[in-house]
Structure 1
Amino acid sequence: MNLLTTYLKSFLTRSGSYVFMATVFARIISFLASILVLQFISNKELGVVLYAYNFILFIIPICGFGLHQSLIRYGALLKTSEEKNSLFIYVLKKGILASFILIFLIIVASFFFSFEFKNTQTYLIILSFILLPSFIFEIVRAQFRLNHDNKSYAYTELIHSLLLLISICLFSFFFKEIGYTLALLLTPLITSIIFFKKLDINFKVNIKLNITDFTFWKYGFFASLSNVLTQLLFVIDILLIGYLLKNSELITDYRYVSIIPFSLLFLPRVFINTDFVSFTEKIYDSVYIKNYIKSYMLLFLLISSLLILTSWLFSNEILSIIDSNFDKYSDTFLILIFGISGIFIFRGLFGNLLSSIGKAHVNYYIATIGLIINVISNYYLIPEYGIKGAAITSAILMWFTGILSCILFIILYKKDFSNK
């Protein structure tokens, strides 16, 4: 219990409460924005914008070729503020160039596809420019974390959410679907401008760093690719339900039954985002890392146990909040709750610890294996068990990829770090 108390106090000392509250607030605002936009734009036109935006959402994690991922990991290992300053300048310059390359490739590729809906290409081209402000926004946030300024990091989330809500309402009201796309584009840009000065980056001090080699670029690229594949793991269930069952109602049912379990995944992310720089800075201290692992796993074992018990007792009541007809999917809901416990206890922690020791490519391989198993398993389980089959596959993979990342971290950490 002392271990857990110390861990929570340390989390709060690093402004973890600010990160937690900002994350919760951002999710509420995002939900509110999605409701309000329906008041200004017809479902048909909004659907076309969202269809195009989904393509961009899969590419956003690799904006700047993932250099924002490299910045947070390698920056945490640097000792002086001048070195961190110089690394930020390097990542900013190279990442902007890389983002423009990706934007160019998306625009060119859009001319070679025949889209099902009218104006999809137009929206895709406009939305492709989100990659640039999104990259700048991410490195600004990363720099705050490197400076141990989690409070400012939390404020970026808060301000971004508020600006998104305001801009979506205003632009959508006056300019409809084009206004909505502009709101998505301008919000990360304006937020970045607001917070950039607070970073106090000195562009006159620019030290040449020997860490910005091929390994540096490789790390960021694979870290971003693993995020893309992880997103795809959650999306593939819905795609396969539609493809195998040919029933759009079941797609909607699974989407809404999974809303609460998947929404809860922000919890481990809050702790990891708060602590990542701290445990990366001390990654060579095996005693500290072991204690951190014990503390984290104890906390999320307790949270998972409470969550599973509550869901088992009140699953029907919880689902009825969404829709009274969903209580027939209580088994599916419980399976998904059990599944996310695997992410809570294992995957959220050890996936990031693998990144912390520079093994982001291992996360990519784990996600790839998970994706292959997902497709194969769902081809058998969905026709047999319907959406419960998709839930079973997801739950198994959440635990499998989590335990696999744990095993691989232990092996790689002992091999590369235990003697340092």
Structure 2
Amino acid sequence: MKSLKIFLRNFFSNSGHYVFLSFLIAKISSFLGSLLIIRLLPENEFGVLSIVLSVLTIFTPFTGFGSSQSLMRFGSISYDKEEKLKISSYFFFKGMLLELILIILFLFASVFYIHKYEDIFIIFIACAVRLGGFYFLNHIQIFYRISGENQVFAKINNVVNIGGLLLVLILTYFFKFYGYLIAVSIAPYLSLLWLKKDIYSHRAFRFQNYKEMWRYGIFTALTSVTSDALYSLDILLLGFMTNENAVANYRTAILIPSNIIFLATSFLQSDFPILSKNFRDKKFLQSYAINFNKLFIPICLGILLFFYLFKKYIIIFFFGETYVENTTLFMILSVGFTLGMLTRNLYGNLLPAVGKVEINTWLGIGSLIFLAVLAYILVPLYGTIGMGIAMTATLLVSGLGFLFFFFSYLRKLP
């Protein structure tokens, strides 16, 4: 228990609790925004919106084609302030150009849905504007992270998410569905309030290891894409294999389980700069993994027990009587996501921190294939329950893969 106390003390001394709380606020804001739309929109409109948001989820981690991820990694391991500023300026302008290409590709993806869903292109345009805002939000936030200003990072996160939620409430109330689209598209641009010259105006040039930097960024982006795509592919497959009503039912069942992983990811992201600096310290990494499990195993068990005892009341309270039959699906997904926090989320975050991000990419691609194959087999037989089983199995199997490769890395350290 002494090591766990030291583990938590270091977390607080690094202002990690500010980051954690900001992620908590972000999740609550996102959840309330989703809940508002579930309550206000009929099943078919909510289903179409869910499809576009799932496509956006695939593109969002690839903002700047990995520029922000490279900034996070190489800015964290750099001890020279001048070099941090140069790295930030370099990736700011390079990433902005690449972001424009990404937005065009995102809009092009709409051609696969226009023939099936009416007026879906309008939703794609709103989400394209939001995608551009994410570029500035990510770069600005990461700049403050690598500068050791976790409190500023948390403040930006809070303003964007709370401000975004208020925009959703106000504009949706007055302008309904289109008000919601306007709100979500402009919310990320609130981060520009913290854009200062140090972030982009320092003398930038091509670094000697720029190929290594971009390689890391591209692989991290691919990893993020495959990871987030895993939480979108299920929606997309249901959209093709069933109908918008099935999508709406599945989306309500997965909304809470998929959001609880923020407990693990926010904790790990708070410590990412420290983990990166200690990527060759075997004892530190071992101790971190052990203490993380000491903290989160009881949390995961408590979540599962709470969900099991109150699953029906949770569904009715948040989503209404319409979705009460989704309790079994809700529990299946809860098992997958809670156990995934101890494997997939833990070791899937540790591997990029130690520089082994390409492993995440290949495991992520394998997870997508595994999910698609299971869904193809199970959805025709069991409907949304089949998709829930496929997702849970994918989370558990991929989590074991991340665990295996992380400990393989540890064994090679002196």
Q: What's the TM-score, normalizing by structure 1?
A: 0.85
In structure 2, the partner of 1:209 is 207
Residues 57 and 229 in structure 2, CA contact (< 8 A), matched pair in contact too: no
Aligned-pair CA distance for 1:28: 2.8
Q: Does 1:272 align with 2:268?
A: yes
In structure 1, the partner of 2:142 is 142
Secondary structure at 1:194 match in 2:
helix
Which one-letter code corresponds to 1:209 in the other structure?
Answer: F
Q: Summarize the Cα distance change of 1:37–1:216 in structure 2 as closer, same or farther, 3 Å threshold.
A: same
Distance 1:384 1:54 in 2: 24
Aligned-pair CA distance for 1:317: 4.1
In structure 1, the partner of 2:337 is 340
Matches within 5 A, 1:186-225: 186-191=186-191, 193-197=192-196, 200-201=198-199, 203-206=201-204, 209-213=207-211, 215-225=212-222
| Residue deviations 1:329-374 (CA, integer Å, cap 9, x gap) | 5443333222113321111111111111222221121111111111
Deviating more after overlay: 98-107 vs 86-95: 98-107
| Residue deviations 1:77-120 (CA, integer Å, cap 9, x gap) | 11211111110001101001111222344556768985444544
In structure 1, the partner of 2:230 is 233
Which one-letter code corresponds to 1:141 in the other structure?
Answer: Q
Q: Summarize the Cα distance change of 1:329–1:167 in structure 2 as closer, same or farther, 3 Å threshold.
A: closer
In structure 2, the partner of 1:283 is 279
Q: Does 1:156 align with 2:152?
A: no
| Residue deviations 1:219-256 (CA, integer Å, cap 9, x gap) | 22222222222223223334444555x46554433322
In structure 2, the partner of 1:254 is 250
| Residue deviations 1:291-347 (CA, integer Å, cap 9, x gap) | 111111221112122223333444444444344576665443333222113321111
Aligned-pair CA distance for 1:399: 1.5
Which one-letter code corresponds to 1:72 in the other structure?
Answer: M
Residues 363 and 405 in structure 1, CA contact (< 8 A), matched pair in contact too: yes
Which one-letter code corresponds to 2:263 in the other structure?
Answer: L
Aligned-pair CA distance for 1:61: 1.5
Distance 1:393 1:58 in 2: 19
Secondary structure at 1:130 match in 2:
helix
Match of 2:296 among 295, 300, 305: 300
Distance 1:46 1:306 in 2: 31
Which one-letter code corresponds to 2:299 in the other structure?
Answer: I
Which one-letter code corresponds to 2:297 in the other structure?
Answer: L
Q: Does 1:387 align with 2:387?
A: no
Q: Does 1:354 align with 2:351?
A: yes
Q: Summarize the Cα distance change of 1:165–1:242 in structure 2 as closer, same or farther, 3 Å threshold.
A: closer
Distance 1:319 1:49 in 2: 21
Distance 1:14 1:84 in 2: 19
Q: Summarize the Cα distance change of 1:2–1:232 in structure 2 as closer, same or farther, 3 Å threshold.
A: same
Deviating more after overlay: 152-161 vs 215-224: 215-224
Secondary structure at 2:79 match in 1:
coil
Deviating more after overlay: 302-311 vs 180-189: 180-189
Residues 348 and 360 in structure 2, CA contact (< 8 A), matched pair in contact too: yes
Deviating more after overlay: 266-275 vs 52-61: 52-61
Q: Summarize the Cα distance change of 1:375–1:350 in structure 2 as closer, same or farther, 3 Å threshold.
A: same
Aligned-pair CA distance for 1:22: 2.2
Distance 1:302 1:175 in 2: 44
Residues 52 and 121 in structure 1, CA contact (< 8 A), matched pair in contact too: no
Distance 2:180 2:322 in 1: 33
Q: Summarize the Cα distance change of 1:51–1:154 in structure 2 as closer, same or farther, 3 Å threshold.
A: same
Query: Identical aligned pairs, as a percentage?
Result: 28
Residues 25 and 158 in structure 1, CA contact (< 8 A), matched pair in contact too: yes
Q: Summarize the Cα distance change of 1:321–1:231 in structure 2 as closer, same or farther, 3 Å threshold.
A: same
| Residue deviations 1:255-295 (CA, integer Å, cap 9, x gap) | 22222211211111110111011111111111111111111
Q: CA RMSD in A?
A: 3.2
Structure 1 portions without partners, runs of 5+: none
Aligned-pair CA distance for 1:126: 5.2
Q: Does 1:396 align with 2:393?
A: yes
Which one-letter code corresponds to 1:91 in the other structure?
Answer: F
Q: Does 1:55 align with 2:60?
A: no
Which one-letter code corresponds to 2:193 in the other structure?
Answer: I
Q: Summarize the Cα distance change of 1:161–1:340 in structure 2 as closer, same or farther, 3 Å threshold.
A: same
Q: Summarize the Cα distance change of 1:267–1:57 in structure 2 as closer, same or farther, 3 Å threshold.
A: same
Distance 1:181 1:221 in 2: 30
Distance 1:324 1:109 in 2: 35
In structure 1, the partner of 2:6 is 6
Deviating more after overlay: 82-91 vs 336-345: 336-345
| Residue deviations 1:129-185 (CA, integer Å, cap 9, x gap) | 433331121011111111222211111111001321343455556666665444333
Distance 1:249 1:23 in 2: 30
Residues 83 and 209 in structure 1, CA contact (< 8 A), matched pair in contact too: no
Distance 2:105 2:338 in 1: 39
